[in-house]
Chains A and B, each alone.
Chain A
């Protein structure tokens, strides 16, 4: 299916207003169906607990943070795991339908492959650690929390954007 990679079939992104209204309605639907919002790191934290259980069972069970998560069976058995699998499927469908699916190491052309791998790894580690400190990430705390007018969400979004602006100037980005 080489035509998926043809530049002539790449559909434009939605206008920010369209995407924002759609995202807000999806978030509202999630609140009405479940009582909570959307998220992401709930699933990666459970995946970490699951991996820990497979690699170092005793250490994971004894860990103050991951231990309680693995006490009641499979840590992956949770609403958020299914939701993130849905995100994967939805993103894949959208990318294919718009001709925007392309296997690549994005950023390797601008900074080189080794630097891109290192920046992605370090960025992921900072975000993974930070999301555990805040008990949420951009989706779970920033977006969903702000929709409930939670104070913590606005504090998170403020420092999130300030730190992003500064870090972008200190580190050569993509």
Chain B
């Protein structure tokens, strides 16, 4: 790997980590509050970021400034994506982090995030140990052959997908704010730094 690659990786990584910590995503209390529906920051931040990045890529393509053939799109292996989603989502709710946010948790001083990362490595070893024709066959199931994006697979116009994403974004903010007003409100920085405790998580 060349130095220019390492430099872009460091720059993008530093910005990524800086934003995630400032969003509060180093705190397992704040992250898991999304699944209790008392703090919708995870949905709000993720949906906003998806709309901004997808909208940016779309507009740059329309302007002829980029060629989307050069952008990596994950393969439409739907069974693998669905099983992986279930496992990563359960791991998030139980362990308090997803893989990326566990790095943010560790570097904001959280030792439980280090334990989560040890778990990540163990889970990878278990997967590698079991890896073979059976797992490969399951992972290959449910592939959409015609394409990896909605547009390639089913000719859905990109403006329509962008419009649906924008509508979903507004829905997430409206629903989130409604749920947050019913409860104690989003987890604050002070509560997050104090750590998850009985008094602040009692139902």
Contact = CB atoms under 8 A, between A and B. Distances in A.
Contacts of B184: none
A109 B202 CA distance: 12
A100 B41 CA distance: 18
Contact of B120 (A11, A25, A125, A146): A125
Given A130-B87, A141-B81, A141-B84, A151 B17 contact: no
B198 A109 contact: yes
A100 B103 contact: no
Contacts of A98: 21-22, 189
Interface residues of A, number: 125
A66 B110 CA distance: 29
Contacts, number: 544
Residue among A100, A124, A139, A163 with the highest chain B CB neighbour number at 10 A: A124
A159 interface: yes
Contact of B44 (A20, A35, A82): A20
Contacts of A125: 91, 119-120, 122-123, 126
Contacts of B131: 63-65
Main SS class of interface, B: helix
A34 B122 contact: no
B13 A104 contact: no
A30 to B, nearest CB: 4
Nearest to A89: B14
Contacts of B153: 151
B19 interface: yes
A124 B115 contact: yes
B17 A86 contact: yes
Contact of B123 (A19, A99, A109, A124): A124
Interface in A1-60: 7, 10-14, 16-17, 19-41, 44-45, 47-48, 51-52
B115 to A, nearest CB: 4
A94 B18 contact: yes
Contacts of B6: 79, 82
Contacts of A163: 85-87, 89-90, 93
B189 A11 contact: yes
Contacts of B148: 150-152
B52 to A, nearest CB: 3
A91 B103 contact: yes
B99 A139 contact: yes
Contacts of B16: 23, 26, 30, 38, 83, 86-87, 90, 139
A172 B129 CA distance: 30
Contacts of B24: 13-14, 19
Contacts of A135: 74-75, 77, 80, 84
A100 B74 contact: no
Which 4 residue pairs spanning A and B have beta carbons closest together? A123-B95, A86-B13, A124-B119, A134-B84
Interface of A: 7, 10-14, 16-17, 19-41, 44-45, 47-48, 51-52, 63-66, 77-95, 98-110, 116-117, 119-139, 141-143, 145-153, 155-168, 171, 173-174
15 contacts: A11-B189, A16-B23, A30-B8, A40-B100, A87-B16, A88-B17, A91-B20, A95-B26, A98-B21, A124-B115, A131-B84, A134-B87, A152-B78, A163-B85, A167-B89
